[in-house]
Amino acid sequence: MFQVKSIKIDIFEMGKISRSEEIVKKQVLVLYVGGTIGMKKNDDGVYVPVPHIFYDQLKSLPEMHDSGLASKYFPDLADNQLVLPQFENNVILYQLVEYDPLLDSSNLTMSDWIKMANDIKANYNDFNGIVILHGTDTLAYTSSVLSFMIKGLQKPVIVTGAQISIFEIRSDAINNIQNSLILAGCYQIPEICAFFDHKLLRGNRTTKVRLTKFNAYRSPNYGPLANAETAIELKDGNIMKPDPAVPFEVTTTLNSNVRVITFFPTITPSMLESVLQEPTAGVVIQSYGAGNIPSNQPELIDALKKAVARNVLIVNITVCLQGSVVSIYDTGKVLADIGVISGRDMTLEAALTKLCVVLGYPDLSHDQRVELLKQNMRGELTPLDVTDDNNNNNNNNL
Ligand code: ASP
């Protein structure tokens, strides 16, 4: 493993400049999980991940690998390492770890989240930051669940992907990988993030809103952490300031007995009951507007009430993309009154994965789990006493 260190070199360029400049070596681990970013069409004409070709493709692209810098600073390059062209005074060495099998992210399961979390844990001390190359379909679930699984994070972990494969013309892969490597290698952003289309977003505030556009993601209730346009501009006020005294820890015990109920006008009590029955341990309700459900149908309320009495944890979020659950109508207060927890402005991805993690913690009482769900654990929700203005919520251009 290379040491992260800085070295002095003399730069003498075309007789114009003669000065001493500090070159800083950075190291980034890249976990390549799968996704369109590395896919090709198969014989049926549909996209699938193809193993063992991504590294060579990166190596062949001058934007992704600078062989001159590599031989100058890293003459003993391993066969999964590459060197990004110099960014300011940083030379970033990155190491690609390809998952086996590579996955379309629609095929990901909980065990893949656990594998990623374990890989982050195993390599955390050896790298300046970590980048995960991931399919776009469930990227927001992964960036959300990792944020809850990992505590005391002091370095960037950036999940990114692409809408067009790196093997095709007009791919957005190069831009997304380059910026993710630079942000992960050279900046102090102690968060699980999602990078896409020139924006760095908080992972557990991110959701996929567009199928075919390059700007596929939005963070509807929280401002970006950074913009990577012609200059990289960090939004310091939006970035977490973790307590250095909190040790780095990864939890890998997740509870999969978590469901989602989206309300719709023709929902029946028996539909609700079938989702709420054992072994269901946690439920995310996607309600209307400010957190409302039909309050004039006692059987629906009763089904929820019985589940709460069995200690099923029920978190209420709004089906609206933007805004926060608040009891301003009788149709919303009815949920709060029976012990349903307000999920405030959490995304579906954040609410579901938070439940998986909080229910998975061993040795917690039911009341402690309820308290954690109400809390802003990793910047995933805006507490009741924080207004939109001091939430830095300047991301209203949906
Ligand atoms: N189905 C792909 C995936 O999520 C879509 C993508 O990567 O853009 O893996």
Atom of ligand 1 nearest to the CA of 161: 7
- Give residues (CB < 6 A) around ligand 1: 34-36, 104-106, 135-137, 161, 163
- According to the model, what pLDDT value does residue 387 have? 53
Taking residues 343-352, what's their average pLDDT? Answer: 98
**204-254 confidence digits (pLDDT tens):** 999 999 999 999 999 999 999 999 999 999 999 999 999 999 999 999 999
Q: Which of 80, 102, 124 is nearest to 32 (CA)?
A: 102
CATH 3.40.50.10860 fits 6-250, yes or no: no
Burial of 247 (0-12, 13-18, 19+ CB in 10 A): exposed
Supply the DSSP symbol for 301: H
Residue 386 pLDDT? 67
Distances (CA, A) of 80 to 31, 85, 98, 131: 11, 17, 9, 15
pLDDT at 13: 39
Task: Residue count of the chain, please give it.
Answer: 398
Among the atoms of ligand 1, which is closest to the Cα of residue 104? 9
Query: Would you list the domain boundaries of the chain?
Result: 6-250, 258-374
Q: What's the CATH class of domain 258-374?
A: alpha beta
Distance (Å) from CA 286 to ligand 1 centroid: 24
Residue nearest (by alpha carbon) to ligand 1 atom 1: 104
**pLDDT confidence of residue 394:** 35
Whether 6-250 and 258-374 share one fold: the answer is: yes
**Distance from Cα 161 to the centre of ligand 1, integer Å:** 8
Q: Catalytic residue at 36?
A: yes
Average pLDDT over residues 282-300: 97
Cα–ligand 1 centroid distance for 386 (angstroms): 35
* Mean predicted lDDT score pLDDT of the chain: 93
Which amino acid is residue 40, in one-letter code? K
What pLDDT does residue 7 have?
Answer: 45
Cβ atoms of 295 and 330 closer than 8 Å: yes
385: pLDDT confidence band, cut at 50, 70 and 90?
Answer: confident
